[in-house]
């Protein structure tokens, strides 16, 4: 099994190109099931999760062609000949459940295995089922599969989510584009990935208003057509690489970065003493005046502080001046990186959904174990500023969310290498 070895090597300097958003691309790809005409995505990230979604779509009968070294995904669903999303594929990735809404809308039936993914909480399908049933679907859970059908076709409805779920908003939004009548989604998620999905669906002929707010209105249409759409910048990759110079010192420009994707995160960085500057090509981040200051963080749905950057921000707080409190309000079990950071000398106390971090002057390299995608990269960030070598094991998690991470960090001066396991 591969591992990554990081050696603390001083300040960073240079440029890091930010890829298209994994979470956006995984939502956009199932949208091809809504139309018989081709859907082409540009600026696609080159990640193992994208390959998994490709396999899932192909298993349903879609044609998916990867071009330009994976940065373009050309898809066609003119001949969908299977409505069963099998466990062997779906178990690898939670986003696989996003084929449910499009298949119900296009085919009137779907059988989808309950999904897998990172072990950071239960993340149930309840809200997905709730929303689709409001549109007229009949859904039954049997033997680990959701068996769904729509005898009379989907019909518009007013749907108020009990929680602003990103996945449920995406699934129901896609289904509603082909429902008869008007659908109103209340307490809808507001993430940039949902705005990106709505922009793509509008290019395909959907009638959608209000995306980016808590109320989205969809007027159903008879059919959708093909389109070409660029995947939005990955705000989580952006935030991760913004933290690299914040932890190590130096100055790095993140090409393609946009502050509006991460305003709450940028404010916390600045409060810690890190400078964030908008440029013509992205965001420039610099830290030149000693240790950062401790800052408290509470994760919230967008536009709040992203849960997917909590682990990475904790790595920064490990060497901050003073005590910080990080409160996780989105997912349970999302402090599994804390014991591994403690192995490197961090002072962290975890109590339920809250972690208190007392900054130390410098951490020390150690062998550590990655537990999930974001935890993996938090350990690499910590290793960049630690004394000696940090060996991060089980890094296959990283391949799900970060393309060419070693290359990108090495290009700004990090001492990092990936070694093949036996």
Per-domain boundaries in the chain = 3-19+233-419, 22-230
CATH class of domain segment(s) 3-19+233-419: alpha beta
Q: Does residue 209 contact residue 185 with C-beta atoms inside 8 Å?
A: no
The whole-number pLDDT of residue 118 equals 41
The whole-number pLDDT of residue 100 equals 97
pLDDT tens string 303-327: 999 999 999 999 999 999 999 999 9
pLDDT tens string 221-244: 999 999 999 999 999 999 999 999
Binding-site residue set: 22-23, 94, 123-127, 308, 330
In this prediction, residues 151-178 reach a mean pLDDT of: 96
**What distance in Å separates the CA atoms of residue 247 and residue 11, rounded to the nearest whole number?**
9
pLDDT tens string 83-106: 999 999 998 888 899 999 999 999
- The answer to whether domain 3-19+233-419 and domain 22-230 are alike in fold is yes
Q: What is the mean pLDDT of the chain?
A: 94
**What distance in Å separates the CA atoms of residue 306 and residue 234, rounded to the nearest whole number?**
12
Binding-site residue set for UDP-N-acetyl-alpha-D-glucosamine: 94, 123-127, 308, 330
Instruction: Please state the pTM of the whole predicted model.
Output: 0.92
* Among 23, 26, 93, 96, CA closest to 59: 96
Tell me, yes or no, if 118 is annotated catalytic: yes
Look at residue 117 and tell me whether its pLDDT is greater than 70.
no
DSSP secondary structure string for all residues of 37-106: S-EEEES----HHHHHHHHHHHHTT-EEEEETTTTEEEEE-TT----EE-HHHHTT-GGGGGGHHHHHHH
Q: What does the DSSP 8-state code read for residue 115?
A: P
The whole-number pLDDT of residue 119 equals 40
Tokens of 82: 């299977």
pLDDT tens string 24-50: 999 999 999 999 999 999 999 999 999
Look at residue 288 and tell me whether its pLDDT is greater than 80.
no
Give me the architecture of the 22-230 domain, per CATH: Alpha-beta prism (3.65)
* Among 89, 92, 52, 47, CA closest to 70: 47
**What distance in Å separates the CA atoms of residue 346 and residue 363, rounded to the nearest whole number?**
6
Look at residue 120 and tell me whether its pLDDT is greater than 50.
no
**What distance in Å separates the CA atoms of residue 412 and residue 391, rounded to the nearest whole number?**
20
In this prediction, residue 422 has a pLDDT band, given cuts at 50, 70 and 90, of low
Strand partners of residue 67? 72
Catalytic residue selected from 118, 200, 254, 318 = 118
The whole-number pLDDT of residue 122 equals 44
Binding-site residue set for phosphoenolpyruvate: 22-23
The whole-number pLDDT of residue 95 equals 87
Contact residues for 388 (Cβ-Cβ < 8 A; gap 6+): 7, 8, 364, 365
Comparison of pLDDT for 375 and 363, the residue scoring more: 363
């Amino acid at each position: 099994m591969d591992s990554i070895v990081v050696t603390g090597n001083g300040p960073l300097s240079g440029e890091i190109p930010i890829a298209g958003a994994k979470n956006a691309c995984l939502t956009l790809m199932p949208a091809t099931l809504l139309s018989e005409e081709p859907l082409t995505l540009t600026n696609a990230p080159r990640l193992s999760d994208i390959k998994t979604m490709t396999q899932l779509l192909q298993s349903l009968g879609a044609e998916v062609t990867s071009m330009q070294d994976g940065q373009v995904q050309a898809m066609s669903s003119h001949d969908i000949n299977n409505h069963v999303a099998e466990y062997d594929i779906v178990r690898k990735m939670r986003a696989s459940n996003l084929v449910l809404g499009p298949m119900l809308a296009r085919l009137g039936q779907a059988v989808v295995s309950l999904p897998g993914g990172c072990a950071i909480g239960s993340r149930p399908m309840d809200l997905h089922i709730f929303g689709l049933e409001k549109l007229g679907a009949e859904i039954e859970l049997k033997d680990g599969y959701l068996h769904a059908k729509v005898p009379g076709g989907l019909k518009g409805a007013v749907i108020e989510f009990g929680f602003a779920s990103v996945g449920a908003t995406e699934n129901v939004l896609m289904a509603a584009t082909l429902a008869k009548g008007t659908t109103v989604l209340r307490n809808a998620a507001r993430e940039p990935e949902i705005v990106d999905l709505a922009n793509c669906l509008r290019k395909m002929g959907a009638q959608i208003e209000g995306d980016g707010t808590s109320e989205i209105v969809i007027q159903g249409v008879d059919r959708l057509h093909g389109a070409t759409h660029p995947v939005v910048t990955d705000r989580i990759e952006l935030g991760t690489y913004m933290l690299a110079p914040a932890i190590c010192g130096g100055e790095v420009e993140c090409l393609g970065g946009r502050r509006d994707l991460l305003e709450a995160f940028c404010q916390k960085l600045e409060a810690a003493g890190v400078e964030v500057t908008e440029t013509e090509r992205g965001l420039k981040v610099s830290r030149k005046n000693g240790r950062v200051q401790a800052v408290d963080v509470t994760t919230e749905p967008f536009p709040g502080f992203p849960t997917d950057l909590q682990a990475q921000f904790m790595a920064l707080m490990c060497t901050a001046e003073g005590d910080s409190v990080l409160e996780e309000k989105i997912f349970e079990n999302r402090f599994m990186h804390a014991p591994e950071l403690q192995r490197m000398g961090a002072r962290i106390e975890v109590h339920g959904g809250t972690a208190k971090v007392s900054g130390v002057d410098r951490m020390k390299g150690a062998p550590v174990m990655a537990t999930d995608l974001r935890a993996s990269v938090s350990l690499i960030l910590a290793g960049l500023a630690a004394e000696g070598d940090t060996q991060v094991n089980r890094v296959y998690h990283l391949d799900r969310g970060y393309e060419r991470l070693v290359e990108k960090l090495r290009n700004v001066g990090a001492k990092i290498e990936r070694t093949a396991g036996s």
